[in-house]
A = this chain, B = another copy of it.
Amino acid sequence: MLFMAEQKKLSIISFSGDFDKLTAVFTLATGAAAVGYEVNLFFTFWGLDALKIKQGRSAVGKGFLPKIFGLMMGGIKNAPVSRLNFAGLSPRIFRFMMRKKNIATLEELFDAARLLGINFYACEMAMHVLGLEKEDFIPEVKDVIGVASFLKISENGQTLFI
């Protein structure tokens, strides 16, 4: 501790599946990784939706109810904005504004996060409730972990819940 410079660390519990909050997650994550931080993203509940391979409103998950939730959630490309959503119009306007301003869109930030070596973790319990399996997620998901492991991974750093 006293003799070696520890790598700085940012860990985010990505709970929300909202477009604007996911944008915040990936902006913070890529920004931190770009300046040398170790970045750990722990996806849980609605946030798990961002990790699904099969994007769009698809019946992913085993069992009837998980399928219903899968159909209602639409993956990262259909993530709604947390406010003023206007039936899906608002995320499109944001995407348009971001593209016009040459700012990375959510999908680009997501790709950047993968390239920057950010660690993606999926929450075991939420996957179990929603009937999702590791195979339903993009291969970049490093591990399926529980709370105890996440606390261990995130200790001695900054941790946010978004």
Q: How many residues of A contact B (CB 8 A)?
A: 52
Instruction: Give chain B residues whose Cβ lies under 8 Å from the Cβ of A28.
Output: 13, 147
Residue A117 is within 8 A (CB to CB) of chain B in the complex: no
Residue A116 is within 8 A (CB to CB) of chain B in the complex: no
Bound together, the chains give a CA A93 to CA B68 distance in angstroms of 11
- Asked if residues A65 and B129 are in contact (CB atoms below 8 Å), the reply is no
Main secondary structure on A side of the interface with B: helix
- Asked if residues B155 and A155 are in contact (CB atoms below 8 Å), the reply is no
Q: Name the contact of A160 in the complex, choosing from B98, B131, B148, B160 (C-beta under 8 A).
A: B160
Residue A10 is within 8 A (CB to CB) of chain B in the complex: yes
Q: Name the contact of A21 in the complex, choosing from B15, B17, B146, B151 (C-beta under 8 A).
A: B15
